[in-house]
Amino acid sequence: MTDAAELLLRVREFLAAHPPATTERSDFLSARFDAGLAWVHYPAGLGGLGAARSLQAVVDAELEAAGAPDNDPRRIGIGLGMAAPTILAYGTEEQKRRFLRPLWVGEEVWCQLFSEPGAGSDLAALGTRAVRDGADGDWIVNGQKVWTSSAHLARWAILIARTDPDAPKHRGITYFLCDMTDPGVEVRPLRQITGEAEFNEVFLTDVRIPDDRRLGPVGEGWKVAQTTLMNERVSIGGMRLPREGGMIGPVARTWRDRPELRTHELHQRLLTLWVEAEVARLTGERLRQQLAAGQPGPRDRV
């Protein structure tokens, strides 16, 4: 497996067996995962077919044209773009089977507990501590994280913590999968000037994490985190925005909702901004499609 023609056939058979119009959204997504059409470059049995990553565009286009529901990638972006590839690269078989399916289907939202008040750009300076309770026991985690997007929605978090304060700072870190519903995890929203609260502070007080939720070896958390961060760059760069999906959205909504504020000058400025946002969005989308199809992007032509 698999070339584009074979894949298209497989998608059409899948659609015939699970017509989007009459299949429950969650049933459709679960069946799509089980059919290996979730992320085709993942291994068989974990939502994929071991196919070339670029072939995902073939699946997505065919499903979109058939009116199929998606897994709301904006809501679960941290799981899809960052937690999943890290679990795939470093997880045990049991961790992969436990976490990847509910993550992709959207049943479990993930967040990223990396940044701290004293560890932003210099992430390896992080102070959150994980201390083992006995030689083979659970890890007890204490510390504070900040700027945690979606922590208020998340069931799980990717977490890095210091396990060896005597080692050089990049070496003393270990990577964990943290259950956000565990006792000792407290999420406090950070309200922005827009009134929204997308980010949070997260306080961890004596949070008990079993050793089977450690991802990768003890002390190798910095290396594991590099996989997350490399994938974060790719996933942010490849994000698909719907029309009015960025900051232009609230501006356009305010224009529609508050006619008493309208002036000719504001109308002109709004139209200019709206067109610029839409051109940027469509240009990005076209580039994303070109790259997914293996066609050269602008940098290749320089």
Residues at the contact surface with ligand FAD, assessed by CB under 6 A: 111-112, 114-115, 120-121, 147-149
Of residues 149 and 290, the one with the C-beta less far from ligand FAD: 149
Burial class (CB in 10 A: 0-12, 13-18, 19+), 173: buried
* Shortest Å distance, C-beta 235 to ligand FAD: 12
Of 108, 198, 220, 232, the catalytic one is: 232
Q: Which position's Cβ is nearest ligand FAD?
A: 120
- Measured distance CA(75)–CA(108) in Å, rounded: 10
How far, in Å, CA of 215 to CA of 87, rounded?
7
Q: Alpha helices, DSSP H only, in 80-173? A: 84-90, 93-105
Q: Would you say 67 or 120 has its CB closer to ligand FAD?
A: 120
The CA-CA-CA angle for residues 114, 119, 120, to 5°, reads 75
- Of the pair 17, 229, the CB lying nearest ligand FAD is at 229
Nearer to ligand FAD, 56 or 112 (CB): 112
Minimum CB–partner distance for residue 239 and ligand FAD (Å): 12
Q: How far is the CB of 231 from ligand FAD (least distance, A)?
A: 14
Taking the C-alpha atoms of residue 272 and residue 279, their distance in angstroms, rounded to an integer, is: 11
H or E element at residue 144: strand 139-145
CA 78 to CA 235: how far, in whole Å? 9
Active site residue 201: no
Whole-number minimum distance, CB 125 to ligand FAD, in Å?
Answer: 10
Active site residues: 232
